[in-house]
Structure 1
Amino acid sequence: MDKIIFDKQQLQFISETISCSSFTYKNWGDDSLLDLRCYIRNYYRDLQQGECAFCKNDLSIVAVGNAHVEHIVPKSIYPKFMFEPKNLCVICADCNQIKRDQEVTRNIPNTLKKPYVKYPRSSKPFLIVHPHFDVWDDYLVKFNGFYVGKDDHKDRKGSFTIYACGLNRKLAKFGYEKEIYSDDDLMEAARQLIESDNLITKLNALTNLKKIINNE
Structure 2
Amino acid sequence: MRVEITEFIFDDDEQAAITEAMSAKKPWYHASVKDVRRRIKDFHLRMTADTCCYCQRDLRGEFTLVIDVEHVLPSSLYKPQTFQMWNLSASCKRCNMDIKKNDVSFLQGSGSLKDSARYKLAHPNFDDVEDHLLRLVEQVGRTRIVKYVKRTRDKGHYTYEYFRLRELETSSYDEAQGANRTDPDHVGNFESMRSRVDALLVSIDKD
State the TM-score, normalizing by the size of structure 2.
0.69
Aligned residue type for 1:96:
N
Alignment partners' CA distance in 1, 2:57 and 2:135: 10
Alignment partners' CA distance in 1, 2:92 and 2:134: 18
Structure 1 counterpart of 2:37? 37
Contact 2:20 2:32 in 1 (8 A): no
1:208, distance to aligned residue in structure 2 (A): 7.4
Contact 1:123 1:130 in 2 (8 A): yes
Alignment partners' CA distance in 2, 1:61 and 1:168: 25
More strand by share: 2
Aligned length: 177
Q: Which runs of 5+ in 1 are unaligned?
A: 181-204
Over 3 Å counting, the alpha-carbon distance change for 1:161 and 1:74 in structure 2 is: farther
Alignment partners' CA distance in 1, 2:83 and 2:191: 45
Structure 2 counterpart of 1:145? 146
Alignment partners' CA distance in 2, 1:206 and 1:52: 27
Structure 2 counterpart of 1:16? 20
Aligned residue type for 2:13:
Q
1:129, distance to aligned residue in structure 2 (A): 0.3
Contact 1:95 1:167 in 2 (8 A): no
Contact 2:21 2:32 in 1 (8 A): no
Q: Does 1:132 align with 2:130?
A: no
1:41, distance to aligned residue in structure 2 (A): 0.7
Contact 2:54 2:95 in 1 (8 A): yes
Structure 1 counterpart of 2:142? none
Per-residue CA shift, 1:81-111, capped at 9, x if unaligned?
Answer: 11111111101222222246x33xxxx1333
> Percent sequence identity over matched residues?
23
1:209, distance to aligned residue in structure 2 (A): 5.2
Aligned residue type for 1:42:
D
Aligned residue type for 1:110:
S
Q: Does 1:213 align with 2:196?
A: yes
Structure 1 residues 1-216: aligned runs within 5 Å:
1=2, 2-3=4-5, 4-18=8-22, 20=23, 22-24=24-26, 28-61=28-61, 63-99=63-99, 102-103=101-102, 108-114=103-109, 116=111, 119-120=113-114, 122-142=115-135, 144-152=145-153, 156-170=154-168, 174=171, 177=174, 212-215=195-198
Structure 1 counterpart of 2:140? none
Q: Which runs of 5+ in 2 are unaligned?
A: 137-144, 178-187, 201-207
Asked which structure has the greater CA Rg, the reply is 1
1:179, distance to aligned residue in structure 2 (A): 6.9
Over 3 Å counting, the alpha-carbon distance change for 1:175 and 1:53 in structure 2 is: closer
RMSD: 3.3
Alignment partners' CA distance in 1, 2:72 and 2:60: 20
Alignment partners' CA distance in 2, 1:126 and 1:149: 17
SS at match of 1:142: strand
Contact 2:59 2:92 in 1 (8 A): yes
Alignment partners' CA distance in 1, 2:156 and 2:88: 19
Over 3 Å counting, the alpha-carbon distance change for 1:47 and 1:147 in structure 2 is: same
